Each structure stands twice: as C-alpha cells, then as structure tokens.
Amino acid sequence: MRMTVIGTGRVGAVHAVCMADLGHTVLGVDIDPEKATALAAGRPFFHEPGLAALLRRTVASGRLRFTASLAEAVQFADTHFLCVPTPQRRDSGAADLSHFRAAADSVMSYARACGRDEVLLVGKSTVPVGTAERLVARLGPAADVASNPEFLREGHAIQDTLRPERVVAGVRTPHAEARLREIYAPMARAGTPLIVTDTATAELVKLASNAFLATKISFINAMAEICDATGADVLTLAGGMAADSRIGPGFLVPGLGFGGSCLAKDIRALATHGEELGLGESVAFLRQVDAINTRQRLRVVRLAERMVGGSFAGRNVGILGAAFKPRSDDVRDSPALAVAEAIRQRGAQVRVHDPEAVDNARAAHPDLQFALEVTKACEQADVVLHLTEWAQYRGLDPGALAAVVRVPAVVDARHTLDAALWRAAGWTLRAPGRPRLGRPAV
C-alpha cells in the first residue's frame, strides 16, 4: 500500500522505515529539507539501534523515499500518518496541538487543490481524548480521521514497531478500519493482536498506558524513600512485590525516575484534561506521581552532597550518563542532566560522560563540561554519580577507576552496579532506598 509519514522524528522515521520493511511504499515528509535529505541518503539524525541499517536497506529497495514537499506527499497517497510533535504547552500542562493541526490543515488544503476527495489522516502523535472528532469537525466531510497510537520504547523502537505487543486502531468509518487492517496485516498474521475501537478509546489507551507505567515507577520510588527512613532495602522490596503475578516486575524499578519526552508530558496532559472535564479528583493522583518523580532528582543531589562533606563548593564530580535512558541519544527532560546541572549550580566542577548523547547534551547544557572517556569524566572526582544505566557502565572495572578519582565514592542512582564488587575495590557506594549499603559489610 502507498502511504506517507508526515514528521520524521524519532517516531515518524522509525514508522516510515518499518512500514517500508513490511512491503509498503512509503514517502516520508519533513518540513526540514536537511533532515529529509539526510534520511534519503540513509543517514538518520538521531541514535536508535538498528535504524541506520534498516533505513539504508529500505531506501535502496525503492520502497522508501523522503521529501520536504507536502504537496508531493498528497499527490503520492491518500493515507497519511501524522507523527508530528505534541509537546507540553508552556503555559499549562496541556498538550500543544499546533503542529498536529497545522499538518492536518495543510494536507487537506493540498488535497482540495489537487482534487482528492478522500483523505485518511491517521494520528500516531499522542493527543488528548477527542482530538480526532474535533479534527473532523474542523476539516469537513472529506477528511476521515483515525487514531493509531505508538507504544515505542526508545532504544527498542524497531522491535516495538515490527513486533509490537498490540496494535490499536481507533476508527470512525469502515473505510478507515479496512485500510488499517490492510496496513497491519503482516503483523496480524504473525499473531499481533489488532484492537479496533473508536478514536476516543484509542487516544486514551496511549495516555492511560503511560500514566500507569509512570505510576509504577513513582510508587516504587516513594517506597525507596520509606526504605531510607526505616533501613529496609528497596531492591529486595521490589523483588518481593514483583513475584506477585498481579503486580509483575515491569517498570517496578527504583532509581532516579523517568524522563524523556513522553511519560511526564503525558501524565500532565491527562491530568489537565481530566480537570477540564470536571474530574479533578479522579486524576489528582497523577499530580503526585509527577511530584514524586521530580523529587528523586533532588534526593540524589542531596545524597551526593552528603558524600562530599555537605558542600559541593570546590569539588569535582564525575557523571556517568546524559541521555534520559540507555540505547538513546535523547536528552529531553533527562534526569541525569538535571542532576548534573543542579550540582554545577551548587559550586562543583562537573564532567559528564555518555556513550551516545554528548553532542545533544552539550547543546542543551553548554555550561556543563563533557568527556568522551569515562576516565576523563571521573579524573580527580570527589564523587561519581551513575545516572543512566548504560550496559558499559555495569562492566566498568571499579579497581581501575579508583586509580583516577580523588575519592572512591559513587552514587548508584540506577541500582545496576554490582555493589559488592565496587565495595571490594575500595569504593563507598550509596544508592537511594538502600541505606544498609552505607554500613560496614558483615
């Protein structure tokens, strides 16, 4: 099937490449000609494992092209996936739909100009409940609007697109349902459930899923605070809870909390929309989920501050991690960088290492210092903070690293370092929710 993907960021580029890999003929559209040119040459402008190779293969196959012309896109196909940003508005927690509406308006304007009387707009962007219906009222009867939310994890986006746990299709017409069934037929044949529903439910599935995942993370971090106050161990606690099949281990992971462009934005948007609907009491807990998550950053700063004697002034601090999660170079709302910046503002000399995100982190935080090697980031450090759980940090030799720091002290804010190994190498290791690590080994 012929289709376009409008917006080729982290969601759109992956969707375009994967749809072409499934055998569809795809035209990716980006208003930035440089991005469109780079993708057409097989060069993704962000890091996502597996994307570069798949991009080159699908472009070479002839099934995938890129353009900066929306007029060309409307002439190319009548099915258009909208993958444009819907960030949080600056004046509230609500989603900013200006890019989403502008893309839809432009498609319909070009469609009318070239005589297309049937257009299917498929929203993959995360939007408030009711957006599809409001878009139909805005655009008129020639526009059919469907909701097909994405459930991608950065660092695993190719796998999550080609072998998803489910595909949700919110439709208003039999035509839209038939079109989406045809597009996702290869996945359905492979056993992926296709959940067909109305557009409002599909829109809410994405928001509710992210809100639930965020709640699990904040819940276990709230328990970590109780562990610090009582002497309990949060990792053992999480394991004991996860053994219950009704709870499970997914996202029950204590640490620095969530960041990135989705979870915090989506729970704020859902809370704001609920309040607008007069359901403030029902969504009030989302405000607390958000507050607990944000508080973890300050807790880690204070823990590190205690380890350097109560003041960062004149101290050297090594930071391991800049991306908001491993296997990505995305630094949007990165907890690691928020902690690094807070420590810098308290008077420390801060050096940050990340395997992939240094360039993006430097652009976002030019006042921080960055290092391309772990040893350079930790050189003469009074404390090292492990803030993004890259696999290569778990494999560090703590004995070798002890030789370059001033004081062998580390905060494991992601709970993935081998505490016994690091302590045996002479390190003082602290971790939120594990107060007994501060006591001598028995």
Spell out the per-residue pLDDT of the chain, length 442, in tens: 999 999 999 999 999 999 999 999 999 999 999 999 999 999 999 999 999 999 999 999 999 999 999 999 999 999 999 999 999 999 999 999 999 999 999 999 999 998 887 899 999 999 999 999 999 999 988 899 999 999 999 999 999 999 999 999 999 999 999 999 999 999 999 999 999 999 999 999 999 999 999 999 999 999 999 999 999 999 999 999 999 999 999 999 999 999 999 999 999 999 999 999 999 999 999 999 999 999 999 999 999 999 999 999 999 999 999 999 999 999 999 999 999 999 999 999 999 999 999 999 999 999 999 999 999 999 999 999 999 999 999 999 999 999 999 999 999 999 999 999 999 999 999 999 999 886 544 3
171/210 same-domain check = no
Torsion region of 416: left, alpha or beta (phi above 0 gives left; psi -120 to 50 gives alpha):
alpha
* Distance of alpha carbon 71 from alpha carbon 440, whole angstroms: 68
Residue carrying structure tokens 């999550």: 160
Looking at the structure, do residues 234 and 190 belong to the same domain, yes or no?
A: no
On whether both 189 and 264 belong to a single domain, the answer is no
CATH number at residue 331: 3.40.50.720
Q: Which among 178, 197, 216 is the end of a domain?
A: 197
> Half-sphere exposure (CA, 13 Å, Cβ side) for 77?
21
Instruction: Specify the pLDDT at position 89.
Output: 94
Where does residue 240 rank: exposed (0-12), middle (13-18), buried (19+ CB within 10 A)? exposed
Same domain, 87 and 53: yes
Same domain, 213 and 175: no
Question: Can you give the residue range of the structural domain that contains 244?
Answer: 204-442
Known catalytic residues are 262
The count of other CB atoms within 10 Å of the CB of residue 188 is 13
Rounded to the nearest 5 degrees, what angle is found at the Cα of 243, between the Cα atoms of 246 and 416? 120
> In which order are the strands placed within the sheet that holds 119-123?
64-67, 25-29, 2-6, 79-82, 119-123, 143-147, 167-170, 194-197
Torsion angles phi and psi, residue 279, rounded to 5: -115, 35
Residue 267 is encoded by which pair of tokens?
Answer: 């729970």
pLDDT for the residue 440? 45
Tokens representing residue 164 in the block: 């998803």
Q: Which residues contact 21 (CB under 8 A, 6 or more apart)?
A: 54, 57, 58, 162
Answer yes or no: are the C-beta atoms of 404 and 318 closer than 8 Å: no
Which of 174, 197, 220 is the last residue in one of the domains? Answer: 197
pTM for the predicted model, two decimal places: 0.95
Tell whether 308 and 190 lie within a shared domain: no
Three-state DSSP state, 123: strand
Q: At what angle do helices 33-40 and 51-61 cross, to 10 degrees?
A: 80
Number of domains within the chain: 2
Is residue 149 domain-shared with residue 265, that is, in the same domain? no
Final residue belonging to a domain, choices 142, 173, 197: 197
In this structure, what DSSP letter does residue 435 have? G
Angle, helices 280-307 vs 199-230, to 10°: value is 40
What pLDDT score was predicted for residue 222?
Answer: 98
In terms of domains, do 279 and 424 share one?
yes
CA atoms within 13 A on the CB side of 66: 29
> Is 192 in the same domain as 265?
no
pLDDT computed for residue 442 by the predictor: 36
Q: Which pLDDT does position 351 carry in this prediction? A: 98
Pairs from 50-53 (Cβ < 8 Å, separation ≥ 24): 50/158, 50/159, 51/13, 51/14, 51/17, 51/157, 51/158
Residue 269 identity (one-letter amino acid): A
- State whether 429 and 280 are in the same domain: yes
Task: Identify the pLDDT of residue 142.
Answer: 85
- Same domain assignment for residues 144 and 266: no
